[in-house]
Copies of this chain bind each other. A is one copy, B any other.
Amino acid sequence: MKISDRIEMTMNAAISNGQGGIAPAKLAAALNYAVTPGGARIRPTILMSVAMACGDDCPKLTNAAGIALELIHCASLVHDDLPCFDDADLRRGKPALHRAFSEPLAVLTGDSLIVMAFQVLAAAAAHTPNRALQLIEILGMRTGMPYGICAGQGWESEDQIDLSAYHQAKTGALFIAATQMGAVAAGQEAEPWAELGARIGEAFQVADDLRDALCDEATLGKPAGQDDLHGRPNAVASLGIAGAVQRFDDILGGAISSIPACPGEAALAQMVRAYADKLVPAGARKRPTVPGE
């Protein structure tokens, strides 16, 4: 089965479980709204690619790990869009959840999806309880305090920001979770896979900065130019477009050379490169047109 099919099938099952029985209908509908349309599903795709490179001997656990990670990501988008944070109108080309439903339902949707992530992992433990527990530990560490995306968002309330800790927690955390959880789901050690995740996270951040600077709202599915508008530190502001593209390529090279030895090493490297290239907007790689040339 294709990775994208594994993701959507497992996600649908998880959301259906959360909606089942006698449940409040609006919150039940909001759960599905928060996780669709799927878009790139980049985090679970990386997770499953790593698991497959490591042999993927427990595919159900791999599927659960991928969906747990994506649920946390979707929860973070719903909470980050709240009026007290980004006050976003749009997400994935449709109204942000708190606009489509309500602010209370957006808070509860995020909370429910966080809980669901851990439920999905516990339910997939079967004959590998220790792998499932380790997945829960990694996901918790990269979601909560002091190293997870909650910490990353928390840094934005500080007067003095530790920029390295901020970026690692805000963007890097779920990519580190992706590579480590992929390895653990397939019975491998987590630690050797941290660097690949951290570097993919850095590359993703630079690509995001490029897209924010170069793409319009219709392409992004959310407002463009937000980094500039909010004065956020970003690679395009500090390096220019060509410099940011060079930085992206450097990080990507480091990411690929950090891949631990495993049966599917070559295929994984190819996947990471192909996937990452899609992240950089075409306009960023165009050389400037010289009139008359």
Q: Mark A110-132, 1 if CB is under 8 A from B, else 0.
A: 11101110110111010001101
Could you list 10 examples of A-B contacts with CB < 8 Å? A18-B146, A22-B162, A84-B103, A85-B104, A104-B157, A105-B157, A108-B154, A125-B133, A129-B129, A132-B133
Cβ-defined contact, B153 with A108, below 8 A: yes
Question: How far apart are A265's CB and chain B's nearest CB, in angstroms?
Answer: 30
A221: interface (CB < 8 Å): no
**Interface residue? A171 (CB, 8 A):** no
User: In terms of DSSP, what is the predominant structure of the interface of chain A?
Assistant: helix
Task: Give every chain B residue within 8 A of A153 (Cβ-Cβ).
Answer: 104, 108
CB atoms of A114 and B111 under 8 A apart: yes
Assembly of this chain: how many copies? Answer: 2
Beyond A24-B151, A111-B114, is A119–B137 a contact (Cβ under 8 Å)? yes
**A residues touching B (Cβ–Cβ < 8 Å)?**
18-28, 31, 75, 79, 82, 84-85, 101-105, 107-108, 110-112, 114-116, 118-119, 121-123, 125, 129-130, 132-134, 136-137, 140-141, 143-148, 150-151, 153-158, 162, 165
